[in-house]
Amino acid sequence: MSYQPNPVPNQEESNRTIVLIAYILGAVGIFTAFIPILIALIICYVKRGEATGTIYYSHYDWLISTFWIGMFWFVVSVITMFAFGLGMLVYIALSIWLLYRFVKGLLRFSERKAVV
């Protein structure tokens, strides 16, 4: 008997699985800590190039922009929490916006469509 290596997984299915993992890590990070979101960001930057020309490229971009916009508003919420006392309202609005982004992205993902 000769050894037969496992076939290389389909690139589309690989991208699909990785994007799903990034969405899950990002969503979990909203409610737990910063680390899962950071891991999702790194995954998106590393794998985005492999998804060029596919719908998953738009999902990687969506997650990356969600992170950076969210980070900006998180910093604003921290600053305004101490300076003006409005930071909690900014943080609540940010959390709702992040949930919207993750839900919209996941819905488009489940429909196998690009995020627009």
Q: Note the pLDDT tens digit of each residue in 32-62.
A: 878 999 999 999 999 999 999 999 999 999 9
Residue 28 above 70 pLDDT?
Answer: yes
Per-residue confidence at 8, pLDDT binned at 50, 70, 90?
very low
| Model pLDDT, residue 3 | 52
**CA distance linking residue 30 with residue 36, whole number of Å:** 9
H helices of 1-116, in order, are 11-31, 34-47, 55-83, 87-110
Residue 65 above 80 pLDDT?
Answer: yes
What secondary structure does DSSP assign to 22-41, as a single string?
HHHHHHHHHHS-HHHHHHHH
Comparing CA positions, the residue from 29, 50, 47 lying closest to residue 38 is 29
Positive or negative, the CA dihedral 43, 64, 74, 88 is: negative
Q: What is the mean pLDDT of residues 11-30?
A: 90
Tokens 């999702």 — which residue?
Answer: 40
CB 46 within 8 A of CB 74: no
Q: What is the mean pLDDT of residues 16-26?
A: 94
Residue 11 above 90 pLDDT?
Answer: no
Three-state DSSP at 48 gives: helix
